[in-house]
Amino acid sequence: MARITLRQLLDHAAEYGYGVPAFNMNNMEQGLAIMEAAEETKSPVILQASRGARAYANDVVLAKLIDALVEIHPDIPVCMHLDHGNNEATCVTAIQYGFTSVMMDGSLKEDGKTPADYAYNSGITKRVVDMAHWGGVSVEGEIGVLGSLESGGGEQEDGHGVEGAISHDQLLTDPEQAVEFVKDTHVDALAVAMGTSHGAYKFSRKPDGAVLAMNVIEEIHRRLPNMHLVMHGSSSVPEDLQEIINKYGGQMKPTWGVPVEEIQRGIKHGVRKINIDTDNRMALTGAIRKVLTENPSEFDPRKYLTPAMAAMRKLCKERFEQFGTAGNAQKIKPLPVAEMAKRYKSGSLDPKFG
C-alpha cells in the first residue's frame, strides 16, 4: 500500500517543481472526499490531523480510517502527517499510530499559546527529529510565530495559536535564523511566518505585500534552496463559498484568504507543502446548509453529507490542479520507513546548504 513519508514526497515535488496541498481531516467524509479527488487527479496527497482532530476522532478510529483510505486507493501515495505537535509525547504517539510525518511546533511552548525563544524551539525540535529519524519518519519544524501582520496577533485553531498581540518581528521569520534553525535541527520541512494565520478571517482586504510577505519566502529560499518550505494558514476563503453559506442562513463576515496566485508564486520559490483546512470546512458547511434550508424536514445525514463531500471533492481537485500536484502519483514509488531510516543514518538526507 502506498503510504509515503513527507520527506520522500517533498523531495519529488522539489525535483518536478510542484506543491502538495496538506488537507486537514477529522472524519470519514473528509477523508473520502480528499482521497476521491486525489484519485481523480492522480495526485499524491498529505492528510493531516491536529491534536484537536485526534481528540475528536480518537486515535484508534483515525488510524484505522487512514488504513482503509490507503487500502481503497492503493495507487495514491499518502503521507499521514501530525499538524502542530506541541511536545515530544504528542509526536511519539502519532508515530505509534502510523503517522509517517510529524510537525514539532516549538515556536510556541507546550501550552500552544505562549511564544517560545529560539533555544526552546531548536532544542525540542532537534529531540523530535532525532527520535523520528531513527524510525524513518519525517519532521516539519516552524521558525517564527504564525499570525496576522494586520492585527499583530494570531487566531487559535483547535486550541493552538498565540494569545494576545506580539511584535511585528516575531510574525516574520528571520531568514538568517531560518538557516541557523535548519543547521541545528535537520528538519525535513520548514514552516515560516509571513503573514498567514489560521481560520477564515486572515485579511480585512485583498492581501498585498504589507500583510502577506511573500518576499520572506523568496529570501529564505535564496538562502536555503534545498529546504522544503511550508505555508500554514493558506486557505483562500473563496468568495463564492462565503456567499453560499450566507445565502442559506450563515453569518460569515466579509474576509479574504491567501490568493491561489500567491501560493503559486510561493511554489516557484521552494514552497512544497500548503496547509488547507478552512476552505474544505466552508465547502462542507455551505452544501449542508443548502440541503437543510431547502429541505427542512430532512433528517437523513446521507442526504446532506453526500453533496457536502461532492463540494469538498471539487475544491480539493481544484487545489491539486492549481498546485501542479495532479498527474504525479504514478511517478512516485513510496519507500518504507525502514529504508528512510537507513538513509537518515547514512547522512544522505542531511540538509544541504549553498
Residue 84 is labelled as binding a ligand: yes
Residue 278 is labelled as binding a ligand: yes
Residue 199 is labelled as binding a ligand: yes
Residue 234 is labelled as binding a ligand: yes
Residue 110 is labelled as binding a ligand: no
Residue 215 is labelled as binding a ligand: no
Residue 122 is labelled as binding a ligand: no
Residue 235 is labelled as binding a ligand: yes
Q: Are 160 and 108 in contact (CB under 8 A)?
A: yes
CA distances for 298 relative to 27, 245, 255, 292, angstroms: 22, 18, 31, 7
CA distances for 237 relative to 144, 230, 266, 280, 318, angstroms: 23, 19, 18, 9, 13
Residue 324 is labelled as binding a ligand: no
Instruction: Choose among 107, 46, 55: nearest CA to 81.
Output: 46
Residue 208: how many CA atoms within 13 Å on its side-chain side? 2
Contacts 24+ apart (CB under 8 A), 104-107: 104/128, 104/129, 104/139, 104/140, 104/141, 105/141, 105/142, 105/160, 105/191, 106/141, 106/142, 107/142, 107/143, 107/144, 107/145, 107/146, 107/193
Q: Are 196 and 86 in contact (CB under 8 A)?
A: no
- Can you read off the three cell numbers belonging to residue 75? 495507487
Residue 232 is labelled as binding a ligand: yes
Residue 209 is labelled as binding a ligand: no
Largest alpha-carbon pair distance within the chain?
A: 63
Q: Which residues are catalytic?
A: 83
Residue 233 is labelled as binding a ligand: yes
Annotated binding site for Zn(2+): 84, 105, 142, 198, 232
Annotated binding site: 84, 105, 142, 198-199, 232-235, 275-278
Annotated binding site for dihydroxyacetone phosphate: 199, 233-235, 275-278
